[in-house]
Structure 1
Amino acid sequence: MTVKTVTHLNFRGDARDALEFYHAVFGGDQMIVSYKEARNVQDPSEADQVMWGQVAADSGFRVMAYDVPSRMPWNRGENSFFVSLRGNAAEEITTYWEKLSEGATVLQPLAPASWSALYGMLKDRFGITWVLDVVNESAAS
């Protein structure tokens, strides 16, 4: 079993531009999924914004990004990134979740999602927001 940590950048409407910029800088593969493509539109004005995006280069550079929906708080200086912990095994991700949850505030319970066998978000007791998920085949790189 293996896990990887990836910097997960948070934007309010600029994620696509940022991912395109980082792709131009670092090369590699770029994947972008809009809220509309994921069938997760809650505000029609945000349908084309990025629900999940990634740049993955052969050099090992990885960055993920998304547009924080307007229904959620966002402040560029306070929550502009998450630590994303991604793994291939549900058991391993669940174990890390249980340990990180001690003294944490659960923002999204660890549960199946349309894009992942397991997905959850929490703010640990030190104020760091973690996103944990089981990687599906198309997002594994």
Structure 2
Amino acid sequence: MSIHLNPYLSFRGNAREAMEFYHSIFGGELRLNRYDSIPGVMGDGDEGSKIMHGQLDTPNGLTLMGADMPESMADMPDVTVGGSSVCVWGEDGEQIRAYWTALSEGAKINMPFEKAPWGDTFGDLRDRYGVNWMFSLADGPAE
């Protein structure tokens, strides 16, 4: 029996675009279910083409989920509100640097991916969809 913990991102109408972007970076299998795939569950009729649930499972075990918030949940925060970050960390320098580089396109770099005072290589960015990401490469050399 296993237990998993993964981020679930809430978007305002661009979940498909964001999840497809993450799929282009992380690879793996992307499943997208629209609101109109299960009638009556949630979302108004004009929201049928929005994403009710998206899930990306990567070959190296990462899972990222996301959905468009329906108008009935307009008061719920979305990814652009901030307050939390998706953190990618490990020891595979080539892969982590590739993720950083790809997610940096169109992003606001809060902290460049470089050697940090505590010894790891670390970077922080807000991607083009408003999602905050932190990257940490354990004992990684600065480049």
* Letter of the structure 1 residue corresponding to residue 49 of structure 2: D
CA drift of 1:80 comes to 8.0
Change (3 A) 1:36 1:79: farther
How far apart in 1 are the matches of 2:58 and 2:5? 15
> Is 1:62–2:68 an aligned residue pair?
no
Q: What per-residue deviation string (whole Å, max 9, x for no partner) do you get for residues 40-93 of structure 1?
A: 254111101011001111112210000011111134444787xxxxxxxxxxxx
Q: Quote the residue 1:71 is aligned against.
A: 72
| Structure 1 unaligned spans of 5+ | 82-141
Helix, strand or coil for the counterpart of 2:16? helix
How far apart in 2 are the matches of 1:43 and 1:62? 28
Q: How high is the TM-score relative to the length of structure 1?
A: 0.52
Question: Within 5 Å, which residues of 2 pair with 1:20-31?
Answer: 20-31=20-31
Q: What per-residue deviation string (whole Å, max 9, x for no partner) do you get for residues 26-53 of structure 1?
A: 1100000001002225411110101100
Q: How high is the TM-score relative to the length of structure 2?
A: 0.52
The answer (yes or no) to whether the contact 1:12–1:74 under 8 Å persists in 2 is no
**What is the root-mean-square deviation of aligned Cα atoms in Å?**
2.4
Q: Quote the residue 2:45 is aligned against.
A: 44
Q: Quote the residue 1:17 is aligned against.
A: 17
The answer (yes or no) to whether the contact 2:16–2:51 under 8 Å persists in 1 is yes
Q: What per-residue deviation string (whole Å, max 9, x for no partner) do you get for residues 98-124 of structure 1?
A: xxxxxxxxxxxxxxxxxxxxxxxxxxx
Change (3 A) 1:6 1:63: same
* Letter of the structure 1 residue corresponding to residue 51 of structure 2: V
Q: Quote the residue 2:54 is aligned against.
A: 53
| Structure 2 unaligned spans of 5+ | 85-143
